[in-house]
């Protein structure tokens, strides 16, 4: 990975300070959206070549990854009863007795290691966190899923080396209202139906399924845990197979060599399947982003907008179905499945030295959707013209400036980098897609009425990756 410190081209670099061609920047906020660590699979695709027993030994706590936490409801502030979540996972057991979707010991170590990496990047020097970090410098939010809450705990344990002065407060909202992942309960079935219909005509996908069947020595790819009555008459999705066997591999169990050789193809076509189920036909992927992860994008912008009054490190435990659309928004989606512990990191900087970047007044230049009156943010209240953003995926900076600021010589002259973009450009890119909760709910309702004018109650369909 390339850290903030190592990215500087000048000797005597200080953590938290970026010295670029003609300007100097100070890091003031970091937002990290990360996928949980390795878990037990959600799917079970049998093969005569190999099998695995998932016992409770696989999910024992890693001692170094355990710190005290306080899990609260984000709107009520009340404690969340652990017995009220993971209800869709606990009744479904894999061979060996453990439930599906549980964070494993290896998964806890994944996130502990991510926390250790963040420690190297953002603790001490002139950076955003004290050494050792204080919990008051961290704000943590998770989906109400056990593996994510434990992953968040593990990350902060790695970040702090377990040196905490109290419980880490983790906030979440009720699963049926959650927006940190594309939630089928909040939207119409239309994108899922149109996307899966398009996938049925993908000859490359059919060819890959044939290779997977041959690698597993089976006549049909069947998820034994699927409750679909027709599951034995058709192949399941590629990402079901990937889910099962990548979980096995990451947790130290053997998988067939012929299947292992197909991992790159499964990573790609599994991602295409999921994006199609989430966003519909490929031609509609970008257009459907607002009703998919619009609230996530609004959270990112609103956190930047109020950076001076909130903890400098913002942590979000999300899912693969969040990461992929986020990468699409950032024009950085390579259509490959995010690995366990994948992270997208948004770094916000304020310029301390050098000439300002001049462009049209930000509020005047922004394009807001006509149907999003509650998603406006007033950027005139901050020094937007002297603020910059860098985004990293898997610890590597994304070349956003080379894509979003191409032809703008001023940006290149000021930074000499393809990584740093003016906040003005970043906000301009995300604003047309970002939706506040109120606007998101209204837009979803409009879509639902249009798709189902008769108001017939529909059985919600969606990806089976949660």
Hey, what are 389's tokens?
Answer: 């953003």
Output helix, strand, coil percentages for the chain, rounded to the nearest 5.
Answer: 40, 15, 45
Q: Which residues pair with 32 in a beta bridge?
A: 315, 345
CA distance 458 to 410: 53
- Give the C-alpha distances (Å, rounded to integers) separating 393 from 25, 272, 365, 421: 20, 19, 28, 15
Burial of 307 (0-12, 13-18, 19+ CB in 10 A): buried
Average pLDDT over residues 356-385: 78
Rounded to 5 degrees, φ, ψ at 422 are: -60, 145
**pLDDT tens digits, 103-144:** 999 999 999 999 999 999 999 989 999 999 999 999 999 999
pLDDT surpassing 60 at residue 200 = yes
Average pLDDT over residues 336-346: 99
Q: Give the pLDDT of residue 6.
A: 35
Q: Give the pLDDT of residue 365.
A: 66
CA distance 172 to 143: 6
Average pLDDT over residues 269-273: 98
- Which one has a higher pLDDT value, 365 or 34? 34
**pLDDT tens digits, 274-329:** 999 999 999 999 999 999 999 999 999 999 999 999 999 999 999 999 999 999 99
Residue 306: count of CB within 10 angstroms of its CB: 12
**Tokens 């699963």 correspond to what residue?**
175
239 with 430: CB under 8 angstroms? Answer: no
CA distance 230 to 238: 17
- Taking CB atoms within 8 Å and a gap of at least 24, the contacts of 219-228 are 221/45, 222/45, 222/46, 223/43, 223/44, 223/45, 224/44, 224/45, 224/46, 225/42, 225/43, 225/44, 225/92, 225/100, 226/43, 226/464
Instruction: Tell me what percent of the residues of the chain surpass a pLDDT of 70.
Output: 94
- Give the C-alpha distances (Å, rounded to integers) separating 7 from 275, 330, 342: 32, 21, 20
**pLDDT tens digits, 241-250:** 999 999 999 9
CA distance 275 to 277: 5
Q: Give the pLDDT of residue 383.
A: 86
Average pLDDT score, the chain:
92
**pLDDT tens digits, 140-199:** 999 999 999 999 999 999 999 999 999 999 999 998 889 999 887 777 888 999 999 999
424 with 372: CB under 8 angstroms? Answer: no
159 with 127: CB under 8 angstroms? Answer: no
Instruction: Read off the pLDDT band of 10 (50, 70, 90).
Output: very low
- Which one has a higher pLDDT value, 464 or 57? 57
Q: Which residues pair with 35 in a beta bridge?
A: 318
Residue in 4, 7, 16 with CA at minimum distance from that of residue 312: 16
Residue 82: count of CB within 10 angstroms of its CB: 10
Residue in 308, 286, 282, 313 with CA at minimum distance from that of residue 297: 286
Residue in 284, 279, 307, 275 with CA at minimum distance from that of residue 427: 307
CA distance 19 to 31: 21
Average pLDDT over residues 367-379: 84
CATH architecture of 18-466: 3-Layer(aba) Sandwich (3.40)
Residue 3: count of CB within 10 angstroms of its CB: 16
350 with 25: CB under 8 angstroms? Answer: yes
Q: Give the pLDDT of residue 3.
A: 34
Q: Where are the alpha helices (DSSP H) in 91-237?
A: 105-122, 146-160, 190-199, 203-216
Q: Which residues pair with 29 in a beta bridge?
A: 348
Instruction: Read off the pLDDT band of 2 (50, 70, 90).
Output: very low
**pLDDT tens digits, 421-445:** 999 999 999 999 999 999 999 998 8
Instruction: Read off the pLDDT band of 11 (50, 70, 90).
Output: very low
Hey, what are 319's tokens?
Answer: 């899912």
Burial 14-53 (b: 16+ CB within 10 A, else e): bbbbbbbeebebbbbbbbbbbbbbbbbbbbbbebeeeebe
CA distance 93 to 260: 25
Instruction: Read off the pLDDT band of 460 (50, 70, 90).
Output: low
380 with 335: CB under 8 angstroms? Answer: no
Q: Which residues pair with 389 in a beta bridge?
A: 348, 421
Q: Give the pLDDT of residue 201.
A: 94
**pLDDT tens digits, 37-90:** 999 999 999 999 999 999 999 999 999 999 999 999 999 999 999 988 898 899
Q: Give the pLDDT of residue 55.
A: 98
Residue in 407, 441, 423 with CA at minimum distance from that of residue 177: 441
Residue in 141, 151, 208 with CA at minimum distance from that of residue 181: 141
Q: Give the pLDDT of residue 1.
A: 33
Q: At what angle do helices 263-279 and 190-199 cross, to 10 degrees?
A: 140
């Amino acid at each position: 990975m390339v850290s903030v410190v190592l990215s500087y081209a000048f000797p005597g670099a200080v953590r938290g300070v970026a010295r670029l061609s003609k300007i100097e920047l100070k890091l003031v906020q970091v937002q990290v959206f990360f996928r949980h660590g390795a878990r037990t699979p959600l799917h079970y695709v049998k093969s005569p070549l190999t099998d695995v027993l998932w016992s409770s030994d696989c999910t024992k706590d890693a001692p170094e990854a355990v710190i005290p936490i306080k899990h609260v409801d984000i709107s009520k502030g009340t404690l969340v009863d652990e017995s009220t979540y993971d209800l869709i996972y606990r009744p479904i057991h894999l061979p060996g007795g453990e439930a599906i979707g549980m964070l494993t010991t290896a998964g806890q170590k994944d996130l502990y290691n991510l926390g250790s990496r963040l420690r190297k990047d953002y603790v001490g020097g002139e950076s955003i966190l004290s050494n050792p970090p204080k919990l008051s410098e961290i704000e943590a939010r998770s989906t109400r899923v056990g593996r994510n809450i434990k992953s968040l705990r593990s990350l902060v344990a790695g970040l702090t080396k377990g040196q905490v002065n109290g419980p880490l407060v983790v906030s979440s909202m009720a699963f049926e209202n959650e927006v940190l992942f594309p939630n089928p309960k909040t939207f119409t079935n239309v994108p899922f139906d149109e996307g899966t219909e398009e996938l049925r005509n993908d000859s490359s996908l059919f060819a890959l399924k044939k290779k997977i069947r041959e690698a597993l020595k089976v006549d049909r790819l069947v998820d034994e845990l699927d409750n679909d009555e027709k599951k034995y008459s058709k192949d399941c999705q590629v990402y079901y197979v990937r889910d099962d066997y990548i979980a096995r591999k990451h947790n130290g169990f053997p998988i067939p060599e012929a299947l292992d050789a197909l991992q790159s193809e499964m990573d790609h076509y599994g991602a295409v399947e999921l994006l199609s189920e989430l966003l519909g036909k490929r031609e509609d992927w970008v257009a459907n982003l607002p009703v998919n992860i619009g609230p996530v994008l609004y959270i990112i912008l609103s956190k930047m907008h109020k950076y001076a009054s909130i903890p400098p490190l913002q942590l979000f435990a999300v899912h693969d179905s969040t990461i992929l659309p986020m990468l699409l928004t950032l024009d950085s989606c390579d259509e490959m499945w995010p690995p366990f512990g994948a992270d997208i990191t948004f770094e916000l900087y304020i310029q301390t030295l050098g000439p300002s970047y001049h462009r049209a007044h930000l509020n005047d230049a922004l394009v807001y959707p006509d149907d999003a009156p509650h998603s406006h943010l007033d950027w005139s209240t901050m020094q937007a013209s002297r603020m910059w953003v860098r985004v990293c995926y898997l610890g590597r900076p994304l070349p956003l400036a080379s894509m979003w600021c191409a032809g703008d010589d001023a940006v290149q002259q000021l930074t000499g980098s393809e990584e740093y973009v003016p906040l003005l450009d970043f906000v301009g890119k995300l604003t047309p897609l970002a939706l506040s909760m109120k606007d998101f709910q209204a837009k979803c309702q409009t879509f639902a009425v249009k798709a189902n004018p008769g108001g017939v109650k529909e059985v919600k369909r969606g990806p089976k990756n949660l």
